[in-house]
Amino acid sequence: MEISLRNQVAVVTGASSGIGSGIAKSLASAGAAVIVNHSSERSLDEAQAVLKEITDAGGNGITYQCDVSREDQVIKMFQDTVSQFGTVDILINNAGIQKDSKFTEMTLDQWNAVIGVNLTGQFLCAREAIKEFLRRGIDPSRSIACGKIIHISSVHEIIPWAGHANYAASKGAVRMLMQTLAQEYGADKIRVNSICPGAIQTPINKDAWSTQEALSSLLSLIPYNRIGQPQDIGNLAAFLASDLADYITGTSIFVDGAMTTFESFSTGG
């Protein structure tokens, strides 16, 4: 059994860092051409380094600067991708941020920034991807599905998170966005799923693993007793995007070392 994404084109948002970079490399190693999206000029070097790893390993792709919370930029990213690669087969809605605050001190700017990237960004990219999937239709030389969307959600789509109301609200909403799209476009053979990471070692949560004390405290929440790596998410993303997962749609898959079994109850609560 082989995971193959040959002849397919994947847009991976926020692919210059962390989980997005892991997913971009996994999809490329399965044969997809990958659009390594990054948000600004500042992240260009990182995006180019990810693309270099892909091409050094024999893969194909480009870097593409686009702020996913900006409608004009998202529309242009999809138009340019279709011009250069012919179509889009896979969207990985990964870009995400945190702006943490005690709720009563949370500013509207903090709220809007997180909702803008984590939810509106996923809406804008999914809308452009689905339009392109429907325009192209099913092409069995690429995939037996018309298109695949994978939302990168979080364990916080089901675990409430004090001090992070904007982030938890954005991820809870992503779950309903994902299920609604799977329902609305199932008959068109468009598959839509979410991956819900637990604690993955990336810059977004550096405070939680960069000291031994913080790491020990984090591990006390994870029965499997290790922090996750971007590759753990990349492996599942490649499988989910492939035809091997053709009957999987409308669901959230947790990749969390059993964090969602609530370790604190392991001794009876």
Rule CB under 6 A: say whether 16 interacts with ligand NAD: yes
The answer to whether 99 and 113 are in contact (CB under 8 A) is yes
Three-state secondary structure call for residue 115: helix
The nearer residue to ligand NAD, 4 or 229, going by C-beta atoms, is 229
Query: For residue 37, is it left (φ>0), alpha (ψ between -120 and 50) or beta?
Result: beta
Q: Interface residues for ligand NAD in 33-62 (CB under 6 A)?
A: 37-39, 43
Three-class secondary structure of residue 154 per DSSP: coil
**Which H/E stretch holds residue 27?**
helix 18-29
Q: Are 233 and 195 in contact (CB under 8 A)?
A: yes
Which one, 190 or 221, has the nearer CB to ligand NAD?
A: 221
User: Are the CB atoms for 62 and 36 separated by under 8 Å?
Assistant: yes
Using CB under 6 A as the binding criterion, the count of chain residues that bind ligand NAD stands at 29
Which residue among 167, 185, 224, 247 is the active-site one? 167
Nearer to ligand NAD, 87 or 229 (CB): 229
Out of 26, 69, 120, 252, which residue is the one contacting ligand NAD (CB under 6 A)? 69
Within residues 179-238, the interface with ligand NAD by CB under 6 A covers 197, 199-200, 202-205
Distance, in Å, from the CA atom of 89 to the CA atom of 142, rounded to the nearest integer, reads 8
167 in catalytic set: yes
Using CB under 6 A as the binding rule, whether residue 14 contacts ligand NAD is answered as yes
Binding residues for ligand NAD, per CB under 6 A?
A: 13-14, 16-20, 37-39, 43, 67-69, 94-97, 117, 121, 152, 154, 197, 199-200, 202-205
